[in-house]
Chain A
């Protein structure tokens, strides 16, 4: 696995996202920090509602009207995206940062051909003539592995399977050579065999162009497949971050550990589950947010907010009993 030696191209610092509710704003992404270097893949893993997608949407500033960035910085090549004007932000979207979504079946406009949808992005950011944009769209469709792209570019989304549509979305996201690609569960909605193809494609494109990939998934198998480093999110916080090998070999946060045990094992073995449910954001525990479900919970866990502690230079975990539990494990 590659070590992150390069300067991060995307550097999210202490990101806070609030959602407006009838009872006032609710913090749903709480002080998340992430950094991705060119050519590197950072996996963002967690259960539904842990804030993974909101983090990615906050980077794109596409949170919609109900949520807003309430604090922190999103540095793209040193520029803080949270301070950019609306117009400048539109240049970033699809230009410097591409995004791939979970549902390829509904991510494309049904009324336009896929070629037009890719070419439109090219025209938007490159200001090139129609013919040239179309040519580039066909090249891109070819690059993401769509057979006979010349002909297929004239087809509408409903002529494509889910996997092929996801390739189109990827082509669109990469059409203007972004430096960062946000992939929000890009394989979740696809068949297992197609998943593998899409992962291979993404990894190949990343290595070809050296883009920084933020890969969001709840599937640890997929994360292990493609990521260099992993950040585990729980209830709006990053609870552990480590190189992928370290995280799988020696998880330091009980939640990560529990998650790893939830992966199906050999046939006949019982699938492990984590007892309890993710706490609601308006009823978070005072201390460690995982404490109510944790197998290692101790009296000190509820005392107050827990900081992300350094395990080693590349590994951090948010656990009060970090050292005690390490001794137990060894």
Chain B
């Protein structure tokens, strides 16, 4: 197991390194020059040249990459080209919002999805199963931003049950924090919950048909123990894959949801930076997203070993 973790960690570092090159290189392909954004259209060539030199844009690529990577390893992702605000600082300012949003959405979608999926599987063919099937189809088909707009319009603006935009720190006022995140979390979690419910249902139905389930019945175990302790553990293997994908998906969609609900998180920072051609900011946020995604994938891989002892041995 320790060797497995070590190998996977090494692979992860390699991957992040490759992505860092890609992220760095990709920005070179963005049309336009950041100096024109900063200086405007009327800048003289001299002004541009001076600025380019001071920003290090004239250095050879490899030197620029080395500087950036060295800084990134030390936690310094450079400074914003527009505001001279440190990128790392900008990320830490906003990450709490995105993390709250993504983690809460993940928890909600996993809990709701698993509960619906398992219950539907146990009552296979019943009324609940049919409603769950219909509901999850709708949940998957529905665009997130649309659901967000509907929720804002009705629960937020019309009924005034929830604030429609903005964010309050957890430390400042937990109740307000929860109220501000409620609609974004529902918006973000709906699709994931539907996806997880479908996968969990299919997987539990399959598992309950396996031979070992009959042995468990023959041991006199209760249905709760058979499903909860035994079948679910085997059934979770494909579900974990879906949950892992949801994390990446939630991060991606948080960009939209943050826009709909005007939440100042990483997603809106990323979008704004791209529009501003604020290269260090784009590089920093993309690198962060990459690290999050590959770390989640690692955790998913490692969980297989716990769920399926045979996999731990062979991988």
Contacts and interface: CB of A to CB of B under 8 A. Distances in A.
Interface of A: 60, 62, 90-95, 98-99, 101, 103, 106-112, 120-121, 124-125, 156, 158, 169, 172-173
A52 B174 CA distance: 64
B227 to A, nearest CB: 12
Contact of A94 (B218, B234, B307, B309): B218
B230 interface: yes
B309 A90 contact: no
Secondary structure of the B contact surface, majority rule: helix
A110 B215 contact: no
A96 to B, nearest CB: 9
B130 interface: no
B215 A172 contact: yes
B97 to A, nearest CB: 38
B211 interface: yes
Nearest to B234: A111
A298 B246 CA distance: 71
Nearest to B221: A124
A109 B233 CA distance: 10
30 contacts: A60-B217, A62-B218, A90-B221, A90-B222, A93-B217, A93-B220, A94-B220, A94-B221, A95-B220, A98-B218, A99-B218, A101-B214, A103-B211, A106-B210, A106-B211, A106-B212, A107-B211, A110-B234, A110-B309, A110-B310, A111-B307, A111-B308, A111-B309, A120-B219, A121-B220, A124-B220, A156-B309, A158-B313, A172-B215, A172-B219
B287 to A, nearest CB: 37
Contact of A156 (B230, B307, B310): B310
B216 interface: yes
Contact of A121 (B219, B309, B310, B313): B219
Contact of A158 (B211, B216, B234, B309): B309
B18 to A, nearest CB: 35
Nearest 3 A-B pairs (CB), nearest first?
Answer: A94-B220, A106-B211, A93-B220
Nearest to A62: B217
A94 B219 contact: yes
A124 B221 CA distance: 7
Nearest to B213: A109
A109 B34 CA distance: 60
A325 B186 CA distance: 79
B239 to A, nearest CB: 14
Given A106-B211, A169-B215, A172-B215, A111 B220 contact: no
Given A106-B210, A111-B309, 20 more contacts: A60-B217, A62-B214, A93-B220, A94-B218, A94-B220, A101-B214, A101-B218, A106-B211, A106-B212, A107-B215, A109-B212, A109-B230, A109-B234, A110-B212, A111-B234, A111-B308, A112-B230, A121-B220, A158-B310, A158-B313
A3 B294 CA distance: 70
Nearest to B307: A111
Interface residues of B, number: 20
Contacts of A92: 220
Contact of B218 (A93, A112, A158): A93
A91 B220 contact: yes
Contacts of B234: 109-111
B92 to A, nearest CB: 40
Contacts of B309: 110-111, 156, 158
B245 to A, nearest CB: 22
Interface in B187-239: 210-212, 214-222, 230, 233-234
Interface string B138-178: 00000000000000000000000000000000000000000
With most chain B CB atoms within 10 A of its CB, the pick from A93, A95, A172 is: A93
Contacts of A107: 211-212, 214-215
Contacts of A125: 220
Contacts of B214: 62, 101, 107
A33 to B, nearest CB: 23
Given A110-B234, A124-B219, A124-B221, A101 B211 contact: yes
A62 to B, nearest CB: 5
